[in-house]
A and B are shown apart, each in its own frame.
Chain A
């Protein structure tokens, strides 16, 4: 998936510094709180914490997906062979490359269109709907439609290149054609999520700031540059993190549209894990690859958190 689960947009804007001293709720309320989160906790342990722990254990065994049981203890040899495997590093590079190609576009374009849509005075709902609608289409449907449009000779997008006098790249058969194909698809498909986050944040900016600016004679462009964009910075930071993590988890589009091809030149890290774990039946090895990739993602999140905390501290101090 290229996008993460819904995020409360309120957290995108800086919360007012806590003024109320933290008050302990009475014990009865506390128990009720646990009771209400219990269904979530149960699912979280069952489907997230549990599998992660199982994955950690089997990464030290020669576990296979075609036999029950753990298999033989192999120590850290799964890890050493994962780290030495050039295919693994190539697949990580493909995930990183996809992130580098999509993230700037998926921040700049939603920001631009959210600002444009906010300046409309009528039928705003239509544009919001139009931009968000593709996001709810399932990945398989999106990929089938785009595969149809990318078909050599007959596809719509292939022909569109001809209308403007450009030679169409081989979208499904050449390396850069394939990257173009999958980036364009992803842009159309997941644009709406970031667009909605920006739209919500723009609505939170107080009208009075603009009013004051226009009294001082600021042009619309100056208002956008000096008010809207800076005040959206926290949202941009959030979208950047979500987008980087989501893009590094890319799997669906590349698997369905290209199967990691041509010649595994677009195979992302998750497909490498899927291929070794399920297609080659090497569960233990794939678990080790997953752990390495998991640590990489944790490191990125932690790095982002530290950078942000330092920024906030410098603002306060």
Chain B
């Protein structure tokens, strides 16, 4: 009898627990079990921005929340691979956020795997988010097979920083201003670096090389894209690198860090920011997102660092190109999302676009033309100097394994680093690069 009463007690308490779980439909536990989304805010938003970008984004989200009277739960995840792993797995297991950030260089796989909604299907066009209002190069990379899967927020190119005072001493400035005289071709670029070296002392230019494969990859792409087309085609399954152009690129890179010592061949990101930040080097090759790092820096003599930023001129080819990537907003496919949440998501995206002059403070060029052409953005210096780079942008080759923070960039960048440090000669480096590309190109793609 005793054991019977214990059993009935257990049954009753089990029933109570089950009832408790069922009644709490909106709780995260219940929604996990039933497959819905936890509705903790009007819009759930995932991004990967810390630091200055993170602060700007937080301000934008707050402004949108206040203006549109909606609540947004913004979650910051670790930058790079960890973020994309989580975004993809949440979408493939049908519990994605309402809105997410992606690099356009990482978009092809997400779109081809069917994890994202075509943005027009979610009502972006009705909200006025249309192709004609975006930088064309960015919009082009937001489309996969002719369908737009992302709304570009910015373009962030690899650019040329210069120290205005050293440039003036080197005679590189136009009379009566802070603007550089036009630099023409390979010889013009070399001459400018030599002049800077004479004016500044230690080096003509500096960039982060050691343990920074992404930066060396950006520098390679900036030079190589002036000479030849994409190094990979057919969704990354065919290696199309032009061996002659690659060797010429490598030889030019090595001529800068080699005998003439126009650049240090082993600078880390710390060396780089010290050399340029202390006014010891005239040129810096870096992404525009580093502008906040140098703003308000004082030189050893107490003067503020006076620098400016311009797009790279045409160096090896005839046409200026800017290696770039874009941050964009996506709506992951979610079968359980209500029409109301979808509408909120689109309003949220529109709100971020309209506030993207705040975003531009981080150095990025707004992709949303109404802001890019606005007075509010045009008066931001030096951001408005390199708007042209967004139109000349060259992105990572399209494939499932390329993109910001990818293993691909790490691997290929390591080959380029060896050229810059002088460990590999240009001809062998072309062989090493081709072998590395081949390894990625022959791996079986997860999606076709």
Q: Chain A residues in contact with chain B, CB under 8 A?
A: 62, 64-68, 74, 77-78, 81, 173, 262-264, 275, 278-283, 285
B384 part of interface (Cβ distance < 8 Å): no
Q: Find B85's partner among A67, A77, A278, A285 (CB 8 Å cutoff).
A: A278
Q: Assess whether A279 is in contact with B81, with CB atoms less than 8 Å apart.
A: yes
Known: A262-B211, A280-B407, A281-B88. 18 other contacts (CB 8 A): A62-B446, A64-B447, A65-B88, A66-B91, A66-B115, A66-B447, A67-B446, A74-B444, A77-B444, A81-B443, A263-B410, A263-B414, A278-B89, A279-B84, A280-B401, A280-B446, A281-B113, A281-B447
Chain A residues with Cβ below 8 Å from B115 are 66
Most chain B Cβ neighbours within 10 Å, of A77, A78, A278, A281: A281
Instruction: Map CB proximity to A onto B24-35 as digits: 1 under 8 Å, 0 otherwise.
Output: 000000000000
Determine whether B182 belongs to the interface, using a CB cutoff of 8 Å to chain A.
no
B306 at the interface (CB under 8 A from A): no
B409-445 interface with A by 8 A CB criterion: 410, 414, 443-444
Q: How far is the CA of A39 from the CA of B275 in the complex (A)?
A: 64
Assess whether B296 is interfacial by the CB under 8 Å rule: no
Task: Decide: A66 and B109 in contact? CB cutoff 8 A.
Answer: yes
Is B114's CB within 8 Å of the partner chain A? yes
- Tier of interface size on chain B: 20 to 34
Q: How far is the CB of B116 from chain A (nearest CB, A)?
A: 11
Min CB distance, A100 to chain B, in Å?
26
For residue B71, CB closer than 8 A to chain A, the reply is no
How distant is B211 from chain A, measured CB to nearest CB, in Å?
6
User: Do residues A263 and B447 form an inter-chain contact, with CB atoms below 8 A?
Assistant: no
B400 to chain A, nearest CB (A): 8
Task: Report if A281-B81 is in contact (Cβ < 8 Å); known contacts: A67-B114, A68-B92, A74-B444.
Answer: no
Known: A81-B443, A173-B211, A263-B410. A64 touches B113 (CB 8 A): yes
Min CB–CB distance A142 → chain B (angstroms): 18
Bitwise interface map of B from 111 to 129 toward A, beta carbon under 8 Å scored 1, else 0 = 0011100000000000000
Complex-state Cα separation, A66 to B91, whole angstroms: 8
Q: Chain B residues near A263: list those with CB within 8 A.
A: 211, 213, 410, 414
CA–CA, A68 and B414, complex, Å: 35
Which residues on B sit within 8 Å (CB–CB) of A264? 410
Nearest CB of B to A116, in Å? 42
A62–B32 Cα distance when bound, in Å, is 28
| B113→A282 contact, CB < 8 A | no
Chain B residues within 8 Å of A78, by CB: 444
Q: Are B444 and A285 in contact (CB-based, < 8 A)?
A: yes
A-B contact pairs, 19 of them (CB 8 A): A64-B113, A65-B88, A66-B88, A66-B92, A66-B110, A66-B113, A66-B115, A66-B447, A67-B114, A68-B92, A74-B444, A81-B443, A81-B444, A173-B211, A262-B211, A263-B414, A275-B407, A280-B401, A282-B443
Report the separation of the CA atoms of residues A281 and B399 in the bound assembly, to the nearest whole angstrom: 13
Instruction: Name A66's closest neighbour in chain B (CB-CB).
Output: B113
- Min Cβ gap B105→A in Å is 15
Q: Which of B85, B109, B213 has the most CB of A within 10 A?
A: B85
In the complex the two chains form, is B410's CB within 8 Å of A282's CB?
A: no
A278 to chain B, nearest CB (A): 5
CA distance A260 to B85 in the complex (A): 16
Top 9 nearest A-B pairs (CB, nearest first) are A64-B446, A66-B113, A281-B446, A66-B92, A279-B81, A278-B85, A279-B85, A66-B88, A282-B446
Closest residue to A62 on the B side, CB-wise? Answer: B444
| A64 to B401 CA separation, bound complex (whole angstroms) | 14
Give B138 Cβ to nearest chain A Cβ, in Å.
Answer: 24
CA distance A14 to B258 in the complex (A): 67
| Assembly CA distance A66 to B93 (angstroms) | 8
Give bound CA distance, A262 to B213, whole Å. Answer: 11
Contacts of A62 in B (CB 8 A): 444, 446
Interface residues of B in 180-235 (CB under 8 A from A): 211, 213
C-alpha spacing A281/B414, complex, angstroms: 23
Nearest-Cβ distance from residue B247 to partner chain A, whole angstroms: 24
Closest A residue to B115 by CB, please name it: A66
Which of chain B's residues have a CB closer than 8 A to the CB of A281? 88, 109, 113, 400, 446-447
Q: Tell me which residues across on chain A come within 8 A of B92, comparing CB atoms.
A: 65-68
Q: How far is the CB of A152 from chain B (nearest CB, A)?
A: 9
> Which residues from chain A contact B447 at a C-beta distance below 8 Å?
64, 66-67, 281
In the assembled complex, the Cα of A78 lies from the Cα of B443 at a distance in Å of: 10
Docked pose: A148 CA to B109 CA in angstroms: 36
Identity of the chain A residue whose Cβ is nearest the Cβ of B114 in the assembled complex: A67
Within the complex, the shortest CB–CB distance from A275 to chain B, in Å, comes to 7
Measured CB to CB, the closest approach of chain B to A15, in angstroms, equals 36
Min CB distance, B11 to chain A, in Å? Answer: 17
Residue of B nearest to A172 (CB): B211
Chain B residue with the shortest CB-CB distance to A87: B439
Q: Which chain B residue has the least Cβ–Cβ distance from A274? A: B85
